[in-house]
Structure 1
Amino acid sequence: MPNLPDLEAWAIFAKVVELRSFTAAAEDLGVSKATVSKAVTRLEKSLGVQLLHRSSRRLALTESGRELAGRAQQLLSLGEEAEDAARDDAANPRGLVRLAAPMSFGIAHVGPALPDFFARYPDIAVDLHLADAVVDIVAGGFDAALRIGALPDSSLRARRLGAVERHLVAAQAYVERRGRPEHPSDLKDHDCLCYAYLPNPESWRFTHKGGEEAQVRPSGPLRANNSDAMMPALKAGHGIALVPDFMLAQHGGTKGLVTLLPDWSPPPIALHLVTPPGRERPARVTVLVDFLAERFAGLCAETAGSRRENG
Structure 2
Amino acid sequence: MDRLTEMEAFATVVDQGGFTDAARKMGISKSAVSKHVSALEARLGARLLNRTTRRVSPTEIGLAYYDRARRVLNDAGEADALVTSMQSAPSGLLRISVATDFGVNHISPVLSDFLTEYPDITVNMVLNTRYVELISEGFDMAIRIGEQEDSSLRARRLCETSQRMIASPGYLQKFGRPQRLEDLNEHKLLHYSSQAAGNVWKITTASGEKRQIRSNGWLTVNDGQSLLNAAISGLGIALLPSFLYADALRQGLVEDVMPALPGETLGIYAVYPPGRFTQPKVRAFIDFLVQTYAEKGPDSW
- TM-score, normalised relative to structure 2: 0.74
Q: Deviations over 1:68-114 (max 9, x none)?
A: xxxxxxxxxxx99xx67982674212111111101121122212221
Give the drift of 1:132: 1.6
The alignment yields a C-alpha RMSD, in angstroms, of 3.6
Residues 1:158 and 2:137 are matched in the alignment: no
Partner residue, 1:18: 28
CA contact (8 A) 1:205 1:267 kept: no
Name the counterpart of 1:55: none
- Distance change in 2, residues 1:19/1:246 (3 Å): same
Say how many residue pairs are matched: 264
Separation in 1 of the partners of 2:98 and 2:38?
A: 51
- Report the identity percentage: 31
Deviations 1:167-211 (A, max 9, x none): 111101101110110111111110011112334332112222223
Quick one: distance in 2 between partners of 1:22 and 1:224?
73
Taking the aligned partners of 1:188 and 1:283, their CA distance within structure 2 comes to 51
CA deviation string 1:262-310 (max 9, x = no partner): 2224643211111112232322222122222222343336xx236xxxx
Work out whether 1:105 is the aligned partner of 2:102.
yes
Q: Which residue of 1 aligns with 2:116?
A: 119
When normalised by structure 1's length, the TM-score is 0.72
What residue number does 2:11 align with?
Answer: 9
1:239 lines up with 2:242 in the alignment = no
SS of corresponding position for 2:183: helix
Is the alpha carbon distance of 1:278 and 1:89 closer, same or farther for their aligned partners in structure 2, counting shifts above 3 Å?
closer
> Secondary structure of the residue that 1:298 maps to in structure 2?
coil
Q: What letter matches 1:186 in structure 2? A: D
**Paired position in structure 2 for 1:175:** 172
- TM-fit CA distance, 1:7: 9.9
Deviations 1:139-164 (A, max 9, x none): 21111000012222421111112221
Deviation track 1:208-253 (CA, whole Å, cap 9, x = no partner) reads 2223443211333211111011122111111001121110135463
Query: Given the superposition, is the C-alpha separation of residues 172 and 251 from structure 1 closer, same or farther in structure 2, using an over 3 Å criterion?
Result: closer
- Residues in 1 aligned to 2:92 and 2:42: alpha-carbon distance in whole angstroms: 37
Q: How does 1:112-261 map to 2 (within 5 A)?
A: 112-251=109-248, 253=250, 255-261=252-258
Q: Is the 8 A contact 1:144 1:276 kept in 2?
A: yes
In structure 1, C-alpha distance between the alignment counterparts of 2:180 and 2:41, rounded to whole Å: 77
Query: CA offsets, 1:103-128, max 9 Å, x none?
Result: 12112221222111112211111111
Whole-Å separation in 1 of the counterparts to 2:294 and 2:30: 58
Secondary structure at the counterpart of residue 270 of structure 1: strand
Give the aligned partner of residue 64 of structure 1: none
Counterpart residue number, 1:34: 40
**Structure-1 separation of matches of 2:50 and 2:172:** 87
Q: Contact between 1:90 and 1:282, CA under 8 Å: does it hold in 2? A: no
